[in-house]
């Protein structure tokens, strides 16, 4: 496997569905929350790897609008984990100049979490290194509905609504569309992730469970991406 520094082209924006924490724990006879804890540790390693490769935008899907249907203890455990990650992330963000962004609906979240997310976004907004988007309480359809509502409440002229203006009303606003979406854990679907933004993304599915998705696996995903031909609906020049 070539080192990622030798892989060309590298994606500008990688977005990841971090699936398989529960099964990782189950396989070891551990509670599901232990799987999420290990998943959180891996999220940190993965951020460091993409920093090393100088991928400028990374999005992590940490909590979907559908995850509310999980047992209360698991949901609370995921909230606690996010707080912990944001706390320990403060120093890394300062050191590595990471700009944190939030994709998702803040309003549905507990006040304490809302405050913590707002702080992380505010404190890092002028950082010029990697942009790390945390998709938390995020749903692709919800994002589109919220965008439509805001366009109506802004009384936007119908003639002004096109793909560019629509994109500006999404949570991702100024973030470029993902070039590569990775889903770990073996399922082959996007599960309401970046529904609008994924239109031309390359998708990479791997059976590897999220806590085991290491640097070697990242390099495999990047090498596969670099061999794909992206035509964006065009044909190859003959
Ligand atoms: C899916 O695994 C994973 C989640 C619902 C949560 C992902 C959260 C983390 C990795 C930790 C927090 C990280 C950050 C950056 C805040 P699953 O529970 O659906 O696994 P399963 O399909 O095996 O049951």
Interval 76-89: pLDDT, tens: 999 999 999 999 98
Assess if residue 29 is contained within a domain.
yes
Interval 35-74: pLDDT, tens: 999 999 999 999 999 999 999 999 999 999 999 999 999 9
What local confidence, expressed as pLDDT, does residue 229 receive? 80
Is residue 36 within 6 Å of ligand 1 at its C-beta? yes
Assess if residue 144 is contained within a domain.
yes
Assess if residue 149 is contained within a domain.
yes
Residue whose Cα lies nearest atom 8 of ligand 1: it is 62
CA of 205 to the centre of ligand 1 (A): 16
Assess if residue 238 is contained within a domain.
no
CA of 209 to the centre of ligand 1 (A): 10
Q: Mutual orientation of helices 111-124 and 72-96 as an angle, nearest 10°?
A: 20
* 235 — pLDDT class (breaks 50, 70, 90): confident
> What's the structural domain count of the chain?
1
Interval 181-221: pLDDT, tens: 999 999 999 999 999 999 999 999 999 999 999 999 999 99
**Of ligand 1's atoms, which has the minimum distance to the CA of residue 187?**
22
Is residue 34 within 6 Å of ligand 1 at its C-beta? no
Instruction: Please give the model's pTM, rounded to 2 decimal places.
Output: 0.94
Q: What is the CATH number of the domain that holds 186?
A: 3.40.1180.10
Is residue 104 within 6 Å of ligand 1 at its C-beta? no
Assess if residue 5 is contained within a domain.
no
Is residue 175 within 6 Å of ligand 1 at its C-beta? no
Strands 57-64 and 13-17: parallel
Q: Does position 101 have pLDDT exceeding 90, yes or no?
A: yes
Q: Which mutation among 62, 93, 103, 136 tests ligand 1's pocket best, with the greatest number of atoms within 8 A of CB?
A: 62
Assess if residue 205 is contained within a domain.
yes
Is residue 62 within 6 Å of ligand 1 at its C-beta? yes
The question of whether 19 is a catalytic residue gets the answer yes
Q: Does position 2 have pLDDT exceeding 80, yes or no?
A: no
Cis peptide before 122 (omega within 30 of 0): no
CA of 214 to the centre of ligand 1 (A): 15
Assess if residue 60 is contained within a domain.
yes
| DSSP for residue 208 | S
What local confidence, expressed as pLDDT, does residue 232 receive? 79
Domain coverage including residue 23 = 10-226
Sheet of strand 131-138, all strands in order from the earlier edge strand to the far edge? 99-103, 131-138, 57-64, 13-17, 180-183, 202-205
Q: Does position 3 have pLDDT exceeding 90, yes or no?
A: no
Q: Does position 4 have pLDDT exceeding 70, yes or no?
A: no
Assess if residue 4 is contained within a domain.
no
Q: Provide the percentage of residues in the chain whose pLDDT is more than 70.
A: 97
Average pLDDT of the chain is 95
The question of whether 69 is a catalytic residue gets the answer no
Least confident residue range of 1-5, 14-18, 41-45, 193-197? 1-5
């Amino acid at each position: 496997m070539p080192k990622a520094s030798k892989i060309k082209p590298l994606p500008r924006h990688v977005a990841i569905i971090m699936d398989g924490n529960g099964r990782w724990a189950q396989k070891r006879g551990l509670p599901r929350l232990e799987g999420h804890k290990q998943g959180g540790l891996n999220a940190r390693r993965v951020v460091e790897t993409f920093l090393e490769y100088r991928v400028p935008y990374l999005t992590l899907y940490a909590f979907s609008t559908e995850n509310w249907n999980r047992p209360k203890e698991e949901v609370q455990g995921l909230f606690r984990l996010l707080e912990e990650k944001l706390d320990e992330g403060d120093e890394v963000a300062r050191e590595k100049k990471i700009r944190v962004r939030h994709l998702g609906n803040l309003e549905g979240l507990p006040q304490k979490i809302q405050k913590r997310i707002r702080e992380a976004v505010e404190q890092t907004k002028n950082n010029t290194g990697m942009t790390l988007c945390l998709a938390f309480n995020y749903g692709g359809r919800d994002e589109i509905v919220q965008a439509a509502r805001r366009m109506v409440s802004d009384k936007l002229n119908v003639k002004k609504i096109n793909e560019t203006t629509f994109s500006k009303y999404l949570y991702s606003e100024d973030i470029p569309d993902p070039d590569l979406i990775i889903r770990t854990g073996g399922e082959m679907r996007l599960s309401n992730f970046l529904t609008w933004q994924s239109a031309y993304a390359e998708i990479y599915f791997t059976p590897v469970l999220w806590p085991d998705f290491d640097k070697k696996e990242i390099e495999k995903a990047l090498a596969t991406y670099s061999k794909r031909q992206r035509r964006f609906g065009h044909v190859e020049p003959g």
